[in-house]
Amino acid sequence: MSRFLSLIIAVMLLAGTALADPLGLGRVAEPDEIAAWDIDVRPDGTGLPAGSGSVAMGEEVFVEKCAACHGDFAEGVGRYPALAGGMDTLQDERPTRTVGSFWPYLSTTYDFINRAMTVGYGEPASDDEIYAIIAYILYSNDLVDEDFVLSRENFTSIRLPNEGGFYMDDRIQTEHPLFIRPACMKNCKDEVQIIARVETAFIPADMNRDGSGKTRLAIGETLFGQCRACHQIGDGAQNGVGPVLNGIFGKPAGSNDRFDYSDAFAMMADEELVWDFDALNAFLKDPQGFIPGTTMNFTGIEEDFDRNALIAYLQAQGP
């Protein structure tokens, strides 16, 4: 019995004992009722009922119950799937995936036909008929001879060609270790060589802009002029239209108790946004884009260098 099924049954039993009494509803499921649900068949043959069926019998049943959709030779009709053929097509751009070419285990055939095809699409079939149908599908795939008889006893001796094409997900062993190696934090290279500079990366505050003679910090201070209408910074700064920005670099967003932030902002605060370089950089580039609904009525600063300079200035301000 699968774990999932056990769980359902456990829940049914619980519901039976816990609820039946006070409400007078329901009753404990009978063993044969549980057995009727317990129909899964596993690759190792667990769950297969007693029974057997021949290719010849399978052909008759298949033609009667399945061929309207899957074709007399399991080759598929119209857009209904083929159950046979397609060998050696798995590498093709449009592979033909059938029981013969693709499926890893024969047990899936029993399970699927019993669970879905004889109920949802076709007509009910007995256990023997299902064995026979599977024998016929194997025959249609050239995997057994015409006098073959499939039974519970020889079921697991049938191996499908593509079984080896499936394997257990082993990424926890094979890939995970590659991503959890401790990162090197210092002296990782013998010789350090700067091969490129990226504009958006954080550049030290005292670096100047193309020989203008003005430091980045000074440029940042000038740029902050655009913010002063709403924000104060430095000794004795007060909240205005916008909150005080003292020590904002590295602070959690929306953490000024005396300022009444917008809902959009409060939400970012709940999500624990912190004003590190990347967050400030994104916010100052496009405030509305970064925090849709913010009441900071400011279009943003287009130039990467200017945002850099401004952030350097903000970072240089004390708490």
Distance, in Å, from the CA atom of 97 to the CA atom of 27, rounded to the nearest integer, reads 45
Span interacting with ligand HEC, options 33-41, 86-94, 166-174, 257-265, rule CB under 6 A = 257-265
CA separation (Å) from 289 to 135, 267, 278, 300? 62, 15, 14, 10
Q: How far is the CB of 14 from ligand HEC (least distance, A)?
A: 32
- Of 12, 34, 121, 282, which lies in the binding site for ligand HEC, with binding defined by CB under 6 A? 121
Contact between 163 and 84 (Cβ < 8 Å): no
Residue 294's contacts (CB-CB under 8 Å, 6 or more residues apart) are 262, 264, 265, 287, 288
Q: Which two tokens stand for residue 19?
A: 């609820």
Residues in contact with ligand HEC, counted by CB under 6 A, come to a total of 46
Residue 250's contacts (CB-CB under 8 Å, 6 or more residues apart) are 274, 275, 276, 315
Q: Which two tokens stand for residue 56?
A: 């010849």
Q: If binding is defined by CB under 6 A, does position 261 make contact with ligand HEC?
A: yes
Q: If binding is defined by CB under 6 A, does position 113 make contact with ligand HEC?
A: yes
Q: How far is the CB of 113 from ligand HEC (least distance, A)?
A: 4
Chain length of the chain: 319
Q: Which is nearer to ligand HEC, 15 or 224 (CB)?
A: 224
Report the amino acid identity of residue 176. Answer: H
Report the amino acid identity of residue 129. Answer: E
Q: Which is nearer to ligand HEC, 215 or 288 (CB)?
A: 288
- Of 48, 70, 144, 218, which lies in the binding site for ligand HEC, with binding defined by CB under 6 A? 70
Q: If binding is defined by CB under 6 A, does position 122 make contact with ligand HEC?
A: yes
Q: Interface residues with ligand HEC (CB under 6 A)?
A: 65-66, 68-70, 80-81, 83, 97-99, 109, 112-113, 117-118, 121-122, 125, 133, 226-227, 229-231, 241-243, 245, 248, 253-254, 256, 261-262, 264-265, 275, 284, 294-298, 301, 310
